[in-house]
Amino acid sequence: MEDREIVDLYWARSDRAISETERKYGRYCHYIAYNILYNEEDSEECVNDRYMNAWNSMPPHRPSLLKTFLGKLTRNISINKYKSLTAEKRGQL
């Protein structure tokens, strides 16, 4: 399926958009997340959060390069997860 068709599915609010996104870009996004977090569970969580972010941002946004858009979402979510995992907690010694 072409990227334009997948974006159209998101705009139509079809659940099929997520399954098509996973089929086409699931491994790509998992690779990005894993190379930031080095943890299988955390990487999978970030990829799942990416689906929610993509779902909520389309519409109004219609990305012209879906792979880049999804990669950027995954990267940003993974970096935020990494920061929260490695942050020094207040009150701990």
- The answer to the question of residue 90 being in a domain is no
4-41 residue pLDDT tens? 999 999 999 999 999 999 999 999 999 999 999 999 99
Note down the domain range covering 20. 3-84
- The answer to the question of residue 92 being in a domain is no
Q: Is residue 91 exposed (0-12), middle (13-18) or buried (19+ Cβ within 10 Å)?
A: exposed
- The answer to the question of residue 46 being in a domain is yes
- The answer to the question of residue 57 being in a domain is yes
Q: What is the pLDDT of residue 92?
A: 63
Q: What is the pLDDT of residue 93?
A: 57
CATH code at position 65 = 1.10.1740.10
- The answer to the question of residue 17 being in a domain is yes
Number of domains, the chain: 1
- The answer to the question of residue 58 being in a domain is yes
- The answer to the question of residue 24 being in a domain is yes
43-75 residue pLDDT tens? 999 999 999 999 999 988 899 999 999 999 999
Q: What is the reported pTM? A: 0.89
Q: Count CB neighbours of 7 within 10 A.
A: 21
